[in-house]
Homo-oligomer: A and B are copies of this chain.
Amino acid sequence: MTHWRPTLQTATREEGYDLAVKLARVTVKQTQPDTGVRDRLRPSYAENPDALIAVSQVVAPHFATVSAANDFWRD
């Protein structure tokens, strides 16, 4: 996996959400390392509602993990 910060801690909920999106994308990179292939595939999912929803289904559990790691950014 591309090297990132050592922990799941983030300063804000926005950063936490962005980390969840990044975590979701890493599996695609590890499964399909060829950037050219990934770029070629983008139009077929970025304009497909089912695929856009399915991507969101990946981010949701990752956001749950990052939220728990940050104790939900409670005050």
Q: List 12 A-B contacts (CB under 8 A).
A: A3-B14, A21-B30, A24-B56, A24-B60, A27-B59, A41-B49, A50-B54, A54-B57, A60-B60, A64-B64, A69-B72, A69-B74
| Assembled-state Cα–Cα distance A21/B59 (Å) | 13
Chain B residues whose C-beta falls within 8 Å of the C-beta of A18 in the assembled complex: 1
- Interface of A with B (CB < 8 Å)? 1, 3-9, 12-14, 17-18, 21, 23-28, 30-32, 37, 41, 44-65, 67-69, 72-75
Q: How many copies does the complex hold?
A: 6
- Nearest CB of B to A9, in Å: 7
Which among B1, B7, B53, B55 is the interface contact of A55 at CB below 8 angstroms? B53
